[in-house]
């Protein structure tokens, strides 16, 4: 089947901030970077609005940042990993600034810092208001393209992993120019992003459907906390998928959440009102909408006429949906935004299988727990992407050996739409056993018809772990088990000998 080539260096799948950071830090080792979409497209990093959280201002410290990260994560954050993330945060922001990311500055030349929910102080380094993702990615993409050790192959869609008899991941199978291509390498870094495309409405590119997560799971890698999915409370509800975001920074600036009667409802749900943790705000909005009262973000007073300069991306998205946020409240609804779960890694991006690394949203480093703190995702991608690149660069290829291919079949569009609707209905902001059972039944049916496709494997990981977790915590809320038990992370390994594996 197809051609096989060998790359004697680091093979990276995914070109968001994590993948690109890994590519840069692997130098001088050669890097082959594979991406399905052209650079700067098809990745969530480029869509990020808020910015990067880092303790950069007087009076803030990495310890305070780590404490906020741990508190937001509802008992499941690994404190050592949170401390590492927060400690390396300021250097990560400075490094990106040196690459040319034009962070907003104070008059004294420091980093301007804004407030987002569940941060105890203004800590978000922004770029041109709400343009952080796009501007940071443009700077990093420019650097990658001028780095001689990196070769980029766009249009290469991940279809499988190559694995030896001892479980070592020795390469990938991609479809490139319509042809299958096997690429072997000493180290494979999966930076394949999240699972937004498994849900009916997502704030991320819809092509992100957990393919890397699914393949790593099928290969036997340990998967952590798959049930924890973050729903952004204020996706702009103008009937679009992917849904544009109304950044949390708007609430940091004082924008209020109101219902159709104009009542500001958040104080009835949490003492921190609009600045309560993201999962609390998402559930409150979900409840208002379910009760028929609707939900809107009212920035008329807090931002008003300054909207076009302060939040240009949100402003443009609103106008495109016929809403002028200077004079009208913005209709909002929760949408799938981020996967806290993923391929379990250590502080160097090393997964549980030799030869395999993961970084960014597809990884589970333990820094997000049950609920990621706002603007910690670009930070995690930058910090742990660099670490994964450095570690992967020191891998060497073992001698020649027989490899098996782990492949997943494609899921037809109509089946994908059925899955997305079922995930939103039954594994969304609010869950219960009946819904999760129904969802697993739906996944069984789709799998019987179409095989073990990547989106089905990833969806099953979410649904099974959500069913098994008989409590509520962070982004996982069970109406039938509303209380929290003793905190415990989920670690799952799929049984070996899956129908998706066969000898090559």
Distance in angstroms between the alpha carbons of the first and the last residue of the chain = 9
Question: In angstroms, what is the minimal distance from the CB of 310 to ligand SIN?
Answer: 13
Instruction: Give the residue, chosen from 35, 259, 345, 375, that forms a contact with ligand SIN under the rule CB under 6 A.
Output: 375
Give the Cα separation of 12 and 187 in Å (integer).
8
* Contact flag: residue 50 with ligand SIN (CB under 6 A): yes
Question: In angstroms, what is the minimal distance from the CB of 201 to ligand SIN?
Answer: 15
Span 297-336, contacts to ligand SIN by CB under 6 A: none
Question: In angstroms, what is the minimal distance from the CB of 496 to ligand SIN?
Answer: 36
DSSP H helix total and E strand total for the chain: 13, 22
Tokens representing 26 are: 């692997």
Span 229-258, contacts to ligand SIN by CB under 6 A: 245, 247-249
* Contact flag: residue 202 with ligand SIN (CB under 6 A): no
**Residue nearest ligand SIN (C-beta atom):** 50
* Contact flag: residue 377 with ligand SIN (CB under 6 A): yes
Closest of 458, 210, 221, 176 to residue 355, by C-alpha: 221
Question: In angstroms, what is the minimal distance from the CB of 240 to ligand SIN?
Answer: 17
Closest of 15, 258, 236 to residue 145, by C-alpha: 15
Number of residues binding to ligand SIN, judged by CB under 6 A: 9
* Contact flag: residue 69 with ligand SIN (CB under 6 A): no
Closest of 190, 161, 191 to residue 173, by C-alpha: 161
Residues near 156 by beta carbon (within 8 Å), at least 6 away in sequence = 34, 35, 36, 174, 175, 176, 181
- C-alpha distances (whole Å) from 30 to each of 10, 338, 388, 393 are 6, 31, 14, 8
Order of strands, sheet of 296-298, starting from the edge strand that comes earlier in the sequence: 229-236, 330-339, 296-298, 256-258
Which among 123, 126, 278, 452 is annotated as catalytic?
278
Tokens representing 114 are: 């804004």
Q: Which is nearer to ligand SIN, 245 or 330 (CB)?
A: 245
Question: In angstroms, what is the minimal distance from the CB of 243 to ligand SIN?
Answer: 12
Give the Cα separation of 175 and 196 in Å (integer).
22
* Contact flag: residue 209 with ligand SIN (CB under 6 A): no
Question: In angstroms, what is the minimal distance from the CB of 374 to ligand SIN?
Answer: 4
Q: Which is nearer to ligand SIN, 49 or 209 (CB)?
A: 49
Please list the residues that pair with 231 across neighbouring strands: 336
Q: Which is nearer to ligand SIN, 34 or 363 (CB)?
A: 363
Instruction: Give the residue, chosen from 235, 243, 374, 381, that forms a contact with ligand SIN under the rule CB under 6 A.
Output: 374
Whether 179 is a known active-site residue: answer no
Q: At what angle do helices 377-393 and 132-145 cross, to 10 degrees?
A: 20
* Contact flag: residue 49 with ligand SIN (CB under 6 A): yes
Q: Which is nearer to ligand SIN, 352 or 377 (CB)?
A: 377
The residues that touch ligand SIN, with contacts defined as CB under 6 A, are 49-50, 245, 247-249, 374-375, 377
Catalytic residues: 278
């Amino acid at each position: 089947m197809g051609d096989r080539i060998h790359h004697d260096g680091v093979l990276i799948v995914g070109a968001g901030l994590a993948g690109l950071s890994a590519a840069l830090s692997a130098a001088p080792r050669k890097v082959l970077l594979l991406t399905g979409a052209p650079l700067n497209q098809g990745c969530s990093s480029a869509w990020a609005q808020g910015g990067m959280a880092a303790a950069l201002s007087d009076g803030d410290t990495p310890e305070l940042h780590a404490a906020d990260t741990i508190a937001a994560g509802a008992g499941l954050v690994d404190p050592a990993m949170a401390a590492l993330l927060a400690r390396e945060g300021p250097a990560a922001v400075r490094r990106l600034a040196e690459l040319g990311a034009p962070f907003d500055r104070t008059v004294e030349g420091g980093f301007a810092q804004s407030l987002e929910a569940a941060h105890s102080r203004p800590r978000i380094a922004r770029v041109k208001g709400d343009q952080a993702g796009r501007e940071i990615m443009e700077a990093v993409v420019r650097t990658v393209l001028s780095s001689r050790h990196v070769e980029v192959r766009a249009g290469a869609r991940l279809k499988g992993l190559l694995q030896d008899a001892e479980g070592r991941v020795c390469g990938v199978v991609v479809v490139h120019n319509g042809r299958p291509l096997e690429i072997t390498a000493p180290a494979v870094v999966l930076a394949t992003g999240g699972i937004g495309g498994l849900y009916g409405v997502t704030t991320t590119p819809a092509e992100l459907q957990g393919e890397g997560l699914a393949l790593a799971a099928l290969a036997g890698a340990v998967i952590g906390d798959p049930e924890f999915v973050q729903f952004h409370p204020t996706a702009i509800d103008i009937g679009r998928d992917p849904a544009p975001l109304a950044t949390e920074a708007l609430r940091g600036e004082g924008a209020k959440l109101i219902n159709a009667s104009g009542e500001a409802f958040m104080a009835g749900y949490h003492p921190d009102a609009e600045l309560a943790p993201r999962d609390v705000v998402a559930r409150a909005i979900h409840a208002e909408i379910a009760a028929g009262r609707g939900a809107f973000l009212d920035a008329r007073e807090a931002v008003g006429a300054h909207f076009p300069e302060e939040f240009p991306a949100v402003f443009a998205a609103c106008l495109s949906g016929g809403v002028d946020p200077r004079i009208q409240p913005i209709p909002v609804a929760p949408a799938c935004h981020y996967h806290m779960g993923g391929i379990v890694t250590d502080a160097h991006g090393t997964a549980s299988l030799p030869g395999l690394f993961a970084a960014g949203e597809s990884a589970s480093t333990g820094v997000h727990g049950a609920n990621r703190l706002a603007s910690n995702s670009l930070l995690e991608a930058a910090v742990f992407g660099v670490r994964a690149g450095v570690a992967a660069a020191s891998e060497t290829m073992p001698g020649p050996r027989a490899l098996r291919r782990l492949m997943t079949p494609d899921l037809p569009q109509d089946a994908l739409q059925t899955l997305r609707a079922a995930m939103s209905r039954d594994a969304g902001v609010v869950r219960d056993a009946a819904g999760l059972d129904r969802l697993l039944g739906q996944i069984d049916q789709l799998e019987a018809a179409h095989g073990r496709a990547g989106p089905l494997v990833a969806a099953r990981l979410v649904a099974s772990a959500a069913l098994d977790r008989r409590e509520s915590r962070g982004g996982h809320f069970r109406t039938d088990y509303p209380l929290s038990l003793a905190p415990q992370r989920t670690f799952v390994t799929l049984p070996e000998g899956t129908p998706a594996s066969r000898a090559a």
